[in-house]
Amino acid sequence: MQQLVFATNNRHKLDEVADKIKGQIKLLTLSDIGCNDDIAETGLTFRENAAIKSKFIYHKYKLNCFGDDSGLEIDALNGEPGVFSARYAGEHGNHEANINKVLINLKNETNRKARFHTIISLIWEGEEHFFEGTVEGTIRHEKSGSEGFGYDPIFEPEGYDVTFAEMTMEEKNGISHRAKAVEQLVAFLGALKA
């Protein structure tokens, strides 16, 4: 079976991607290949950050790999937190602080339109390919639900009356930004075998 490195150690992201790939390809994490490097996301766009990760792994380990970058873009905040979604409140990965900062910044806003955006950079046999997914929605006034991660407890996808954090992984994976990008990735990999 062919192998593909996902340039992450984020267990939630890995589970979401593995659910979509369904064993078609062997998915490896950074720890699986012995990579303990902290890959600095210095790009100013999701596309740049995704490419930084995939290129780092490909050039160092010579393995087919992909990196993703995702974030929340809120209209009333001029697209913030955007590429700074994971460290919006300062400390990387402090979901509670990030959510609180968003809720405070939106306190007096009536326009709560937002979207989650994902870009995947795949390097396959030395060639780079990009895949993209977006899901539109609104920001709730308070948290609801305990599933998922990140901003999921305050993001209500369009057409639903529950947040991502109130959905099962299967439900979220049917509509999420990452799921849409990963579906394109899976279709691309499937076409290679055809």
What's the Cα-to-Cα distance from 58 to each of 29, 30, 118, 194, rounded to whole Å?
13, 12, 20, 24
pTM over 0.75: yes
How far from chain centre, in Å, is Cα 6?
Answer: 12
Mean pLDDT by 10 residues, the chain (194 residues): 87 81 84 91 95 96 96 97 94 92 96 97 96 98 93 97 94 91 91 72
Known binding residues for Mg(2+) are 69
Question: What's the domain range around 37?
Answer: 3-193
Q: Could you tell me which residues are annotated as the binding site?
A: 8-13, 69-70, 149-152, 172, 177-178
CATH number at residue 14: 3.90.950.10
The dihedral built from the CA positions of residue 156, 71, 5 and 128, taken in this order, carries a sign that is: positive
69 is catalytic: yes
For residue 132, the surrounding DSSP H or E stretch is: strand 127-139
Q: What is the pLDDT of residue 138?
A: 98
Among 38, 69, 75, 161, the active-site one is: 69
The domain tally of the chain equals 1
Handedness of CA 41, 42, 47, 51 (dihedral sign): negative
